[in-house]
């Protein structure tokens, strides 16, 4: 039996574009209409059904919920800010508070207003100022109800998929552009962090806690060869900790948001720059169970990452951790094994604030569409009926008691 800290945050995470529906003014929506791309359409119609969804979260013992505000709704046209759409998000965070659920609000979760792409999007440094202007409009309105902010979700994933691999909009494949985007997102976080604290200070509100949500992966060398061990260590340092180091040096992380899912088994075919960055074991060595997207399930990797984060001396929040599977028993196994590793890290002095499962409900998994099902709650995409899964009920026992049996 494992007991978690008293005020531990327990809940789930979502993002606007993946659950709300009809987010038609954003870059993803335009991209989705192109041949061969999967449309998000009505998604889960969470924009209308958020109160019922939060009733379910409350029933499931959640005391925290992570959501994102959709920039493309707030600023459909450049410089025109919608008070009506802002009011929707005020209503959303109030609905959470009324149910005793702490909102954790993300300001950027992969999507952008369509007009932003018009001048190169995040590859243009003007995106930073436009983002800051949008963020301030939102933060001022939500500040009285929100204590936790995530400025940017997975900056590294966004810049790599959208500007390096070219598999997400705007489908650029440029190392230079990707590095520019990475830097612009880091500057956007730093400026937004400072704006948020200044806003709360001016409004005489208790200081908020602000972070990013950093995707972190366990990089495991496939063999004990020098090249595998070197490449795994380099990727760990650059991919997992590079941005964390930069933002902690800038003193702009009140906690570290960690999105953890999986392991990468590192095996170099040969010494080479591309090999060091990309090569993974293709021979099926050290096989592990996988999720329905083929990602290795490796709970120990989360424990290892949490222990490495201890040196920063700031709290950590698991802002995403989840499994897409058609077997709900696997979902509970995944959750409980990762919770055991989190508890191990806590027992070794890592200050973990909370755990947010990805995701509250099945939703739009970006370029993979609606096939991968991550939800604690099943969604029927024809009737939009919700059905609570058994894993959600088992997780609810932990949320209510703080004890993992
Ligand atoms: C991410 C995003 C989520 C994904 C989830 C499953 O981390 O990529 O935050 O939007 O849906 O991680 O891939």
Among 149, 67, 72, 153, CA closest to 109: 153
Measured CA distances, 299 to 218, 241, 262 (Å): 9, 19, 8
Report how far ligand 1's centroid is from the alpha carbon of 44 (Å): 16
Indicate whether residue 364 lines ligand 1 (CB < 6 A): no
User: Residue 53: what are its φ and ψ, rounded to 5°?
Assistant: -65, -40
Q: Is 153 in the pocket of ligand 1 (CB under 6 A)?
A: yes
pLDDT digit string (tens) for 361-375?
A: 999 999 999 999 999
Chain-centroid distance of CA 1 in Å reads 29
- For the segment 383-397, the average pLDDT, to the nearest whole number, is 98
Q: Give, using CA atoms, the residue closest to atom 11 of ligand 1.
A: 365
Query: What is the pLDDT at residue 154?
Result: 98
Look at residue 344 and tell me whether its pLDDT is greater than 90.
yes
Q: Is the pLDDT of residue 339 over 90?
A: yes
Rounded to 10 degrees, the C-alpha dihedral 178/117/26/190 comes to 50
What is the whole-number distance in angstroms between the Cα of residue 321 and the centre of ligand 1? 9
Looking from the CA of residue 259, the nearest atom of ligand 1 is 7
154 lines ligand 1 (CB under 6 A): yes
Third-level CATH fold of 2-404: TIM Barrel (3.20.20)
Interval 380-384 mean pLDDT: 98
pTM exceeds 0.75 for this model: yes
Ligand 1 atom closest to Cα of 153?
9
Give the pLDDT confidence of 299-318 residue by residue, as tens digits.
Answer: 999 999 999 999 999 999 99
Q: Please indicate whether residue 111, judged by its CB atom, sits closer than 6 Å to ligand 1.
A: no
- Return the beta strands (E) in 25-179 as ranges: 64-68, 102-108, 148-153
Spell out the residues 6+ positions from residue 334 whose beta carbon is closer than 8 angstroms to its own.
291, 297, 299, 322, 323, 325
Atom of ligand 1 nearest to the CA of 293: 13
Q: How many Å from the N-terminal Cα to the C-terminal Cα in the chain? A: 4
User: Which are the contacts of 218, defined by CB distance < 8 A and separation ≥ 6?
Assistant: 262, 263, 264, 298, 300, 301, 302, 304, 305
Q: Are 44 and 389 in contact (CB under 8 A)?
A: no
Q: Which of 19-23, 115-119, 315-319 has the lowest mean pLDDT?
A: 115-119
Q: CB of 362 closer than 6 A to ligand 1? A: no
List, for residues 212-229, the tens digit of each pLDDT value.
999 999 999 999 999 999
The reported pLDDT for the residue numbered 384 is: 98
Q: What's the mean pLDDT in 122-129?
A: 98
Q: Whose CA is nearest to atom 6 of ligand 1?
A: 365
Give the closest residue to 389 by CA, choosing from 338, 341, 327, 316: 327
- List pLDDT tens digits, range 236-280: 999 999 999 999 999 999 999 999 999 999 999 999 999 999 999
């Amino acid at each position: 039996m494992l007991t978690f800290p008293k005020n531990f945050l327990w809940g789930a995470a979502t993002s606007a574009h993946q659950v709300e529906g009809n987010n038609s003014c954003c870059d993803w929506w335009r991209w989705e209409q192109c041949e061969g791309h999967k449309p998000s359409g009505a998604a889960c119609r969470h924009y209308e059904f958020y109160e019922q969804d939060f009733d379910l979260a409350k029933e499931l013992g959640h005391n925290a919920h992570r959501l994102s505000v959709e920039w493309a709704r707030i600023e459909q046209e450049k410089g025109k800010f919608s008070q009506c759409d802002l009011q929707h998000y005020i209503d959303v965070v109030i609905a959470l508070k009324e149910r005793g659920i702490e909102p954790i609000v993300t300001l950027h979760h992969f999507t952008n207003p369509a007009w932003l792409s018009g001048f190169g999007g995040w590859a243009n440094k003007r995106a930073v100022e436009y983002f800051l202007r949008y963020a301030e409009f939102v933060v001022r309105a939500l500040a009285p109800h929100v204590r936790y902010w995530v400025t940017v979700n997975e900056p590294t994933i966004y810049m790599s998929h959208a500007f390096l691999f070219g598999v997400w909009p705007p489908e650029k494949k440029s190392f230079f552009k990707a590095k520019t985007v990475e830097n612009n997102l880091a500057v956007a976080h730093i400026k937004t962090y400072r704006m948020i604290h200044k806003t709360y200070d001016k409004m005489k509100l208790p200081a908020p806690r602000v972070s990013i949500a950093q995707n972190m992966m366990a990089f495991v060398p496939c063999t004990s060869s020098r090249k595998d061990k070197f490449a795994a260590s380099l990727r760990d340092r650059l991919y997992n900790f590079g941005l964390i180091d930069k933002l902690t040096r800038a003193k702009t992380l009140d906690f570290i948001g960690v999105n953890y899912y999986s392991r990468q088994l590192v095996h170099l075919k040969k010494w080479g720059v591309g090999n060091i960055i990309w090569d993974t074991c293709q021979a099926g060595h050290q096989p592990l169970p996988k999720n329905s997207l083929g990602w290795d399930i490796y709970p120990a990797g989360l424990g290892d990452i949490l222990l490495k984060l201890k040196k920063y001396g700031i709290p950590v929040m698991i802002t995403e951790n989840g499994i897409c599977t058609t077997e709900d028993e696997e979902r509970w196994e995944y959750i409980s094994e990762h919770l055991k590793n989190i508890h191990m890290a806590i027992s070794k002095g890592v200050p973990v604030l909370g755990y947010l499962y990805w995701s509250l409900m099945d939703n739009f998994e970006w370029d993979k569409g609606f096939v991968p099902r991550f939800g604690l709650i099943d969604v029927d995409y024809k009737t939009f009926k919700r059905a609570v899964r058994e894993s959600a009920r088992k997780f609810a026992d932990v949320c209510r008691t703080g004890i993992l049996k």
